[in-house]
């Protein structure tokens, strides 16, 4: 079981809380940032991150 952590969007600086869900089948996917709509995170395995926006970043 992985503990929640925080991550920052590398593109706009938005801060997300990331929690993890274990699934029975491996999954390869990615998530886009809610604010700048660029690639936020990607994964390949059976532990899937869920992202909850905590603080919006500044768009350029």
Residues near Zn ion, by CB under 5 A: 9, 11-12, 14, 33, 35-36
Closest distance between Zn ion and the C-beta of residue 43, in Å? 17
Beta carbon nearer to Zn ion, 12 or 51: 12
Select from 21, 11, 14 the least CA-distant residue to 50: 21
Neighbours of 47 (CB within 10 A): 13
Rounded-to-integer distance, Cα 36 and Cα 40, Å: 9
Beta carbon nearer to Zn ion, 23 or 54: 54
Beta carbon nearer to Zn ion, 41 or 48: 41
């Amino acid at each position: 079981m992985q503990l929640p952590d925080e991550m920052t969007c590398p593109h706009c600086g938005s801060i997300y809380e990331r929690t993890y869900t274990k699934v029975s089948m491996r999954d390869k996917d990615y998530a886009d940032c809610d604010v700048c709509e660029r690639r936020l995170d990607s994964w390949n395995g059976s532990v899937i991150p869920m992202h909850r926006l905590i603080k919006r970043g500044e768009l350029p």
